[in-house]
Amino acid sequence: MQHPYQCIAAIESTAQGQASSHLLAACGHRLVLVDVNDSKIITEWFSAISTTNTAEAPENDDGERPKKKQKTVPPVKPANIIKLTVSPDQAHAVAVTDDKYVRVFTIGNGKLEEISQRCMPKRPCAVQVLPDNATIICGDKFGDVYSLPLLPTASEDVPMVADTALESATLEADEPAFKPSATNLTVHTKRNRKALEAQMQQKAFSAKKEPLKFDHKLLLGHVSMLTGVAYASRNVDGRDRGYIITADRDEHIRISRGPPQSHVIEGYCLGHKEFVSKLCLIPGTDLSVSGGGENELYVWDWPAFTLKRKIHLTDEVVNTGESNAEASRQADDGTMSQADSSKKDVAVSGMWIVPCPAAHGGTETALVVAIERLPMLLAIPVNQLGLPRGQDVNITTIDLGHAPLDLACIGDSVVVSLDAREEGQSRFQAIKLQEVQEQGMIGNVRDGEMEKRLACLNSYPTADASLDGKTLDDLLYNVGNLRKRRGWGDSAKEGDDGPDGDAGVDDVAED
């Protein structure tokens, strides 16, 4: 088996007057930098075995549970790269690995060099470098959005910013002798009484979590897993206003002011009936498109918080994709087939804006959508997104050899990384789109030239005997897992209702 490239990112710069194109591609725990013009891999980076995995003791819960027996920790596999992004000035790349680390690389001079790694409190699931090229915002699975300086300051003892000072103050202000926070006089549910008894018996503090040692700010938080974070900018009365748009698993899209006023929520775009998994801002407009666990894309006028229209991903499109997927699944070795369900559950796994020159010339763009596990891309001309409701939008299907994992644009060429697991199968496909004016449809042409240039990535040795279909599926296909079981209609759990019940408290994401 060969490991597909789960994340790719294009770097196009005109440093020193020379136009250059590079592609960053993540394959498991490895990151490679390819010079597209020279068609060769110029740097390779490995995620080292992370030291914190062995140093971290199991969480102690302040000693309120009896200490767990330490199991012998087997050697940890190096962490996979799960997110990859490039700064707007194309000078830095940021990668997130599975071990909660945010890693910053310089990519100038055709070399890839890691200049920092910072461990976040929870696994980041969305990351972006702001237009100032100096700040990273990242959202995590707990629901928090942090900002970090792109280039960390030299000193480790950076004074904590106000909001994190709050966390550490609460931790540090306690006396050395443990004092429970409640007394016999406070009124308890049975669960709280038990917690109090346990606290009374505790003699001393156990190690509390260390506050983060690097400069960071908690900008905002949902109490739900974040699935998308995007920075947007609008010009109002001659001034640029920054916004942070966040999407979560509980169907919310929130628009907050950008730093330093991210505590101000401007509004919400509500309407999704299932989780939101992808957000895409349409440049040059006030439109945004969101997709998730439904068979429809939502087009918003986000500054006005209103839904302009939905775009139905037609059943034929999805069904055709499904049957193609079936066929390719049977041919492949080692992949698990999707859980059987008569209803086709759609999970939008990617949305990108790509160049799509119009027939008459002129630069147009198209919105390209990937649906998890389907070996196809759906393309919609951006100028159709604003069509009024009632008017059908033309969706073009682009069939691919395998399911697309990520997409990057190099010039006019759309490079797609494919889930091709059998050795010898090409892991990349490159196409050029063109709008066919009369019907609003989009034609596509295979860009064999670009594919040849990326051939070095195909021959990059990543065959691995230990790879198995299930591990790959877990890494590559987890958007569908965002779907909630609808038992009660409101994410309640059994046993919530008694006076001693947890009352849905565990809905709050745990570690």
Query: What does the binding site for another protein look like in residue numbers (CB under 8 A)?
Result: 59, 61-62, 64, 142-144, 162-163, 166, 169-171, 180-183, 185-187, 189, 192, 195-196, 199, 208, 218, 220-224, 236, 239-241, 250, 252, 254, 256-257, 260-261, 263-265, 267-268, 270, 488, 490-492, 496-498, 501, 503-505, 507-508, 511
- Rounded least distance, CB 182 to another protein, Å: 5
- Rounded least distance, CB 492 to another protein, Å: 7
- Rounded least distance, CB 64 to another protein, Å: 6
**CA–CA distance, 137 with 116 (Å, rounded to integer):** 15
Beta carbon nearer to another protein, 256 or 365: 256
Beta carbon nearer to another protein, 39 or 261: 261
Spacing of C-alpha 123 from chain mean position = 10
Beta carbon nearer to another protein, 257 or 329: 257
- Rounded least distance, CB 224 to another protein, Å: 6
- Rounded least distance, CB 175 to another protein, Å: 13
Cβ(299)–Cβ(309) below 8 Å: yes
Q: Nearest 5°: CA angle at 257, between 210 and 288?
A: 110
Beta carbon nearer to another protein, 89 or 506: 506
- Rounded least distance, CB 487 to another protein, Å: 12
**CA–CA distance, 166 with 191 (Å, rounded to integer):** 27
- Rounded least distance, CB 301 to another protein, Å: 16
Beta carbon nearer to another protein, 132 or 422: 132
State the DSSP string of 447-485: -HHHHHHTHHHHHS--B-TT--HHHHHHHH--SGGGPPP
Nearest CA to 410 among 12, 131, 74?
12
- Rounded least distance, CB 235 to another protein, Å: 12
Cis peptide bond prior to 260, omega within 30° of 0: yes
Structure token pair of residue 135:
């700040």
- Rounded least distance, CB 101 to another protein, Å: 22
Nearest CA to 149 among 134, 129, 160, 170?
134
- Rounded least distance, CB 476 to another protein, Å: 28
Beta carbon nearer to another protein, 173 or 465: 173
128: CB partners within 8 A, 6+ apart: 85, 136, 137, 138, 229, 230, 231
Beta strands at 135-140 and 365-371: parallel, antiparallel or unpaired:
unpaired
Bridge partners of residue 69, in order along the sequence:
none
Beta carbon nearer to another protein, 236 or 331: 236
Q: Nearest 5°: CA angle at 458, between 454 and 462?
A: 135
Beta carbon nearer to another protein, 57 or 505: 505
Q: Nearest 5°: CA angle at 84, between 79 and 90?
A: 140
**CA–CA distance, 454 with 33 (Å, rounded to integer):** 11
Q: Nearest 5°: CA angle at 326, between 322 and 332?
A: 135
Q: What is the 3-state secondary structure (H, E, C) of 113-140?
A: EEEEEEECCCCEEEEEECCCCCEEEEEE
- Rounded least distance, CB 283 to another protein, Å: 21
Structure token pair of residue 114:
């890691």
- Rounded least distance, CB 342 to another protein, Å: 30
Ramachandran angles phi, psi of 123, nearest 5°: -65, 120
Bridge partners of residue 40, in order along the sequence:
35
Structure token pair of residue 454:
């990326």
Q: Nearest 5°: CA angle at 100, between 96 and 103?
A: 40
Beta carbon nearer to another protein, 223 or 455: 223
3-state secondary structure of 39: coil
Beta carbon nearer to another protein, 77 or 483: 483
Structure token pair of residue 166:
């709050």
**CA–CA distance, 292 with 483 (Å, rounded to integer):** 9
3-state secondary structure of 271: coil
Ramachandran angles phi, psi of 322, nearest 5°: -60, -45
- Rounded least distance, CB 163 to another protein, Å: 6
Beta carbon nearer to another protein, 156 or 511: 511
